Amino acid sequence: MPVALFALAISAFGIGTTEFVIMGLLPEVAADFGVSIPAAGLLISGYALGVVVGAPLLTALGSRIPRKTVLVALMVLFIAGNLLSAVATGYGLLMTGRIVAALSHGAFFGVGSVVAASLVAPSRRASAIAMMFTGLTVANVLGVPAGTALGQQLGWRSTFWAVSALGVVGLVGILALVPRQERVEGGGLRSELAVFRKPQVWLALAMTALGFAGVFASFTYIAPMMTEVAGFSSGAVTWLLVLFGAGLVAGNLLGGRAADRALMPSLYAILAALSLVLLAFVVTAHAQLPAAITIALFGAAGFATVPPLQARVMAQAKEAPALASAANIAAFNLGNAGGAWLGGLAIDGGLGYTAPNWIGALLAASGLLVALLSGMLDRKRSPGLVTVH
């Protein structure tokens, strides 16, 4: 793999860390600003909203700018948002910093996916995308626990200073290692937006939203599920999340390799596996060892979907892969929010802490049905041909 991919992965590590580390620092932030834990939790929702808005908007605004320049500008925005968070004197300013950093998130992964794919042969594009996303998965294994520990020991602001420094490292890496790339989609913003007239692009986005809604329906409530149902101590949850993160790393890399071999068949298999793992989790969550094993498998199946889903939307939007790829990142975050909301409804409705697992299984199965429909349309469009896009 080209060394430029490591610069993208380092940047992705910083972005992934700042997205999720706030979950472990909510008590400190709430105490510092005199707000409730649920109010501090809105910092997570604000970030997700920033991703959904910023992904297509900033990618569209950069549609005529060389991609390396876009990546540099996005990392500068990311650093600025985290610096603002680090020096925030009030809750509102911290929320602003979170949203500013989030605006760069979706556009970075959208444009970065296209850059990563362009650095390798066509047969290795999904693996190159997976390499960049490895930074995001490793952030869950190392960045988030380390950032949480740092914030708890030295104050939550220290975490945002550290993430800002990571952003600077990523920025320098992009400047030094990523080759300059001119735009290849020549029609401007209007022609790029035209890709959203394609039903297959919308089906690809629907696969993403439903698949990751299935992941976050369960993952959002993993802590109470493990303490209240499986019987783990609260201190053990950190190690269970590391186990989940290890599954993410493995699944991401395996998903990239599988997608390079046969994209749509891989999606069918991975979404089916995700649904089955979540169904099994309804039962295995009641015992500690089976629950721990299932958490690792859940992480692997959940993130194995990312490279093929990203490659699929790019293949269906060849005229504007960066814009469609960024829209797909927004779809991931919509799925995150929707899945968490549905899982919460089930718990509030008295169905228990394992209910989000079967809800997640149904959502993942719905994503599989959309994928099968999309594949069927492929075959109708090209009868007699095996389509791997």
Q: What is the mean pLDDT of residues 297-308?
A: 90
Half-sphere exposure (Cβ direction) of 342: Cα atoms closer than 13 Å: 24
- Looking at residue 86, its pLDDT comes to 95
121-148: pLDDT as tens digits:
877 877 888 788 788 878 877 888 888 8
**How confident is the model at residue 385, as a pLDDT?**
46
Dig out the tokens for 45 from the structure: 């929702």
At 313-358, the pLDDT tens digits run: 878 877 777 778 778 888 888 887 788 788 888 888 888 889 999 9
Number of domains in the chain: 2
Domain hosting residue 164, numbered range: 1-184
Both 8 and 108 in a single domain? yes
pLDDT 10s digits, 39-57: 777 787 788 888 888 888 8
pTM value is 0.76
Higher-pLDDT residue of 132 and 272 is 272
* pLDDT in the model for residue 133: 79
Domain identity same for 118 and 134: yes
Distance CA 197, CA 109 (A): 23
386 confidence band (pLDDT: 50, 70, 90): very low
User: Which residues have a Cβ under 8 Å from the Cβ of 384 and sit 6 or more positions away?
Assistant: none
Q: Within this chain, do residues 224 and 89 fall inside the same structural domain, yes or no?
A: no
Please check whether residues 364 and 275 belong to one and the same domain. Answer: yes
Same domain, 115 and 256: no
Residues 31 and 70 in one domain: yes
SS3 203: helix
Does one domain contain both 122 and 249?
Answer: no
By the 8 A CB rule, do 21 and 163 touch? yes
